[in-house]
Structure 1
Amino acid sequence: MSSSVQTQPQVHVPSESYAVASLLSRPEGCTYQVSYEVTTQTLYVEGHQERLEWLLVDDNSTLMLQWSQRSAPPFPALLAAIEGAFAFYPASVALRLQLPSVLHANLCAAGIAVQESHGELWVYAELIWQLPTLWLNSPPTRPYPQQPILENGKRHPRRPPRPSGTVYQRHIAWLDATLSFRVLDLELDLERFNRWMNDPVVAHFWEERGDLEQHRERLESTLQNPSVVPLIGCIDGEPFGYFETYWAKEDRIGAYYDTSDFDRGWHVLIGEAAFGGRPYVAAWLPSISHYLFLDDCRTQRLVIEPRVDNAKMLRNLAQCGYAHVKAFDFPHKRAMLGMQLREHFFNERCWVPQPSHPGSAPRPDPRFTP
């Protein structure tokens, strides 16, 4: 099995192509339309028969989100406003909040904001993007309890039950569309999976051509494996690819590096050629990484093992923050071990496409600007 993509271009998207006019935010299961009027510096959060207004000020050194009313805003709407602020200013690493003081303690306790010694309240992109409630349909309330088990000769933690339905949604600014991952449904997705696997480009890397019955047996076996979660990637509900996510400790890759208990890995195939361009790669590749990090806060590393001759995939991985650790030999292929660290992904904001100029730098943290 190997990762395959039908795309040749690099994954960065020029900054002007992902400027945001509006976005959909879905905190805590609520849906809000967030928009921004630059001339008045007004950010609007609309949903649930309400239209809330915020002041979002950018003075080139500090980005500030201000709530001017005395009463506290609804908590989900606040989260939507924060997501919108970072979406409208994607180079920002920090956002100053001006809110009623009654909210400060809860925001800090939840890891959403940090109150500095001088009393100012700050939100950091590195923290807010680790908040599952903004992107996961059923965010975990706590990590799944840890119990070591021995299975097929391998000792690893007991894994949580496989989820169902849509697990992750994210508005992609440069596509003006929602990317989502849902758990594969055998009856709904079998024919599509069969067609994708028999596509010549996919078959070259996955080497799993077959008829409908062969692929039914293959997916049934996958769905019986508690360490694997097969996902279908969708853009505005339209399926475009298959993502096979797994716990690395139980996978064959575990024999080739020093695996930790909560490392995750994934394989991918993009089955629809219409979704093979550069903007789509820049959407799904960081998003699958984001989903796996959000799914369990104990996951510190993601791994992938494409064939060493899959130059396009290796380049895409590198541009989305994956290190090429080493080449190694599986019985059926020579592979490259790619690895993404949690710290690197969130600290470097790998969910944002790379700027068009390599020398471009993100907005510095205003607290440390002379």
Structure 2
Amino acid sequence: MSSSVQAQIQVDVPYESPAEASLLSRPEGYGYQVVGDSTTQSLLVKGNQERLEWSLVDDSNHLTLRWPQRSAPPLPALLAAIEGAFACYPATVALRLQLPTVVHANLCAAGIAVKDSHGELWAYAELFWQLPTLWLTSPSMCAYPQQPILENGKRHPRRPPRPSGTVYQRHIPWLNATLSFRVLDLELDLERFNRWMNDPVVAHFWEEQGDLQQHRERLESTLQNPSVVPLIGCIDGEPFGYLETYWAKEDRIGAYYAADDFDRGWHVLIGEAAFRGRPYVAAWMPSISHYLFLDDCRTQRLVIEPRVDNAKMLRNLAQCGYAHVKAFDFPHKRAMLGMQLREHFFNERSWIPLPPHPGSAPRPDPRFTL
């Protein structure tokens, strides 16, 4: 397993040091404040009714999370502790778990942990970040049933109903803030969308300037399209941008490459100038990829088609792991087909900006060192 993180965005604001690291975790809808202390080698997980202290031992070769009691910890608190350990030491590829044996089988069955040939239990970042219950607000317990349908001359799977409200949230350590995506609300977001579309920076690439009525009609049409989910990106609840996600097979891009049934794509505009800096790009760009991969476990590829002259966007996409596959001509623009693979995103841990800690290097995969 590769542990390279060289394709990721470099940000000006690094992670906090392990001695100061903290995280807001929300496994299964529970809220936990997780605080790691490298001096005492401990991890404190605090919930509404819980205050659980773990050992988090860094021996330079491996990071070990140890539960000190004989009884099993609550599963949500365990998930929060694992997320917190990875946040405290973001270069960690695999976390050794020392837990009561009674929980081992269930953790392995759920993909939370894996046993090695020596019988030791490990949580892999690559697997852990594919667990939807930590970041999706209403995760589905299984994939939406598959039924092929013919619609507008295109054969594709029937899509699930559009969600509502907040669909994804993630604490961003280098911003010390929560990033979230919520489904666009026409009445709540129309004026904001209109202002954003008429911003000269946005208008240069989107070319959709107009009045409120034009944008109302535009959003009404979008909301009537079952293959599109329009989202508003927020930092600590403050809206900063619009992200339009879609199923690629039904979209115009599907005619320009061999689209699979569960490929997803997205468009974006950052409407608030204060949120256009690199630390914010390093937060929202990997997070929209993360959300779309979590939303359906069958999605193996993400695509995007920015204009070929949008050099800044193309650079950011490349730094977030999107390959520039080819340039091609839409009727209205010359575009670049960008593509992100599920395997690449999770294997390379693309949610982590480069470097995770000054001077740190990814820890070795224990499968090759034990």
Shorter-normalised TM range: over 0.9
* Distance (Å, rounded) in 1 between the aligned partners of 2:358 and 2:226: 42
Tell me if 1:166 matches 2:166. Answer: yes
What letter is aligned with 2:163? P
SS at match of 2:239: strand
Deviations 1:20-58 (A, max 9, x none): 621100000000000011111110000022100000011
Matching residue of 1:134: 134
SS at match of 1:213: helix
Identity of aligned residues (%): 85
Matching residue of 1:315: 315
Contact 2:12 2:278 in 1 (8 A): no
Matching residue of 1:362: 362
Normalised by the length of structure 1, the TM-score is 0.95
Matching residue of 2:3: none
Gaps of 5+ in 1: 1-9
What letter is aligned with 2:196? W
Matching residue of 1:7: none
What letter is aligned with 1:302? L
| 1:261, distance to aligned residue in structure 2 (A) | 0.1
Matching residue of 2:5: none
* Distance (Å, rounded) in 2 between the aligned partners of 1:212 and 1:340: 35
Matching residue of 2:237: 237
Change (3 A) 1:69 1:164: same
| 1:369, distance to aligned residue in structure 2 (A) | 3.0
* Distance (Å, rounded) in 1 between the aligned partners of 2:357 and 2:118: 36
Matching residue of 1:333: 333
Matching residue of 2:190: 190
SS at match of 1:363: coil
* Distance (Å, rounded) in 1 between the aligned partners of 2:50 and 2:111: 27
Change (3 A) 1:261 1:18: farther
Matching residue of 1:80: 80
Change (3 A) 1:18 1:324: farther
* Distance (Å, rounded) in 2 between the aligned partners of 1:260 and 1:47: 42
Matching residue of 1:343: 343
* Distance (Å, rounded) in 1 between the aligned partners of 2:168 and 2:354: 22
What letter is aligned with 2:11? V
| 1:115, distance to aligned residue in structure 2 (A) | 1.1
Map 1:22-41; keep pairs closer than 5 Å. Answer: 22-41=22-41
* Distance (Å, rounded) in 2 between the aligned partners of 1:290 and 1:361: 23
* Distance (Å, rounded) in 1 between the aligned partners of 2:357 and 2:42: 30
Deviations 1:79-125 (A, max 9, x none): 00000000000001000000000100100000110011211000000
Matching residue of 2:265: 265
Tell me if 1:120 matches 2:120. Answer: yes
Map 1:82-97; keep pairs closer than 5 Å. Answer: 82-97=82-97
* Distance (Å, rounded) in 1 between the aligned partners of 2:132 and 2:151: 30
| 1:358, distance to aligned residue in structure 2 (A) | 12
Change (3 A) 1:193 1:14: closer
Tell me if 1:279 matches 2:279. Answer: yes
Matching residue of 1:5: none
| 1:11, distance to aligned residue in structure 2 (A) | 3.6
Change (3 A) 1:339 1:18: farther
Contact 1:12 1:356 in 2 (8 A): no
SS at match of 2:33: strand
Change (3 A) 1:356 1:27: closer
Contact 2:62 2:363 in 1 (8 A): no
* Distance (Å, rounded) in 1 between the aligned partners of 2:66 and 2:281: 35
Gaps of 5+ in 2: 1-7
| 1:367, distance to aligned residue in structure 2 (A) | 3.7
Matching residue of 1:353: 353
* Distance (Å, rounded) in 1 between the aligned partners of 2:102 and 2:211: 61
Contact 2:243 2:267 in 1 (8 A): yes
Contact 1:61 1:366 in 2 (8 A): no
* Distance (Å, rounded) in 2 between the aligned partners of 1:266 and 1:299: 13
Contact 1:264 1:301 in 2 (8 A): yes
* Distance (Å, rounded) in 2 between the aligned partners of 1:141 and 1:360: 37
Of 186-195 and 353-362, more deviation after overlay is shown by: 353-362
Matching residue of 1:12: 10
* Distance (Å, rounded) in 2 between the aligned partners of 1:356 and 1:33: 21
Deviations 1:259-298 (A, max 9, x none): 0000000000000001011100000000000000000000
Of 198-207 and 347-356, more deviation after overlay is shown by: 347-356
* Distance (Å, rounded) in 2 between the aligned partners of 1:91 and 1:362: 4
* RMSD, aligned α-carbons: 1.6
Contact 1:139 1:295 in 2 (8 A): yes
Deviations 1:127-181 (A, max 9, x none): 0000000000000110000000000000000000000000000000000000000
What letter is aligned with 1:78? L
* Distance (Å, rounded) in 1 between the aligned partners of 2:75 and 2:286: 27
SS at match of 1:335: strand
* Distance (Å, rounded) in 2 between the aligned partners of 1:224 and 1:110: 36
> How many residues get paired?
361
